A = this chain, B = another copy of it.
Amino acid sequence: MTDLARTPKHIGNLIRRTRKKLGLSQAELGDKAGFRQETISLIETGNPATRLETILAVLAALDLEFHVAPRSKDDDAMIEDIF
């Protein structure tokens, strides 16, 4: 099961969804990833200027990882449903 992530908002929503599924607060996730609650808040609200390594650390703390794949028409059809 993989989720498409083309924009910072996609990624933020995905992180928030996963964090809540795991029953974590932003502060708890921040602890696990090595960042502050405020930083998690910014990421989840779609801050486009977040540092790459910060995103990677937060994903890892949620046991997630990025995969890179060709953009596909299937994804285009799916893209509106992400929110």
A residues apposed to B, CB below 8 Å: 1-8, 11, 14, 47-53, 55-56, 59-60, 63-71, 75
Known: A2-B67, A65-B69, A69-B2. A50 touches B48 (CB 8 A): no
Contacts of A1 in B (CB 8 A): 69-70
Provide 5 A-B residue pairs closer than 8 Å at the C-beta atoms, listed in order of the A residue: A1-B69, A4-B65, A5-B66, A48-B52, A66-B67
CA distance A50 to B11 in the complex (A): 16
CA distance A55 to B8 in the complex (A): 10
Known: A14-B68, A66-B6, A67-B4. A51 touches B48 (CB 8 A): yes
Contacts of A53 in B (CB 8 A): 8, 48-49
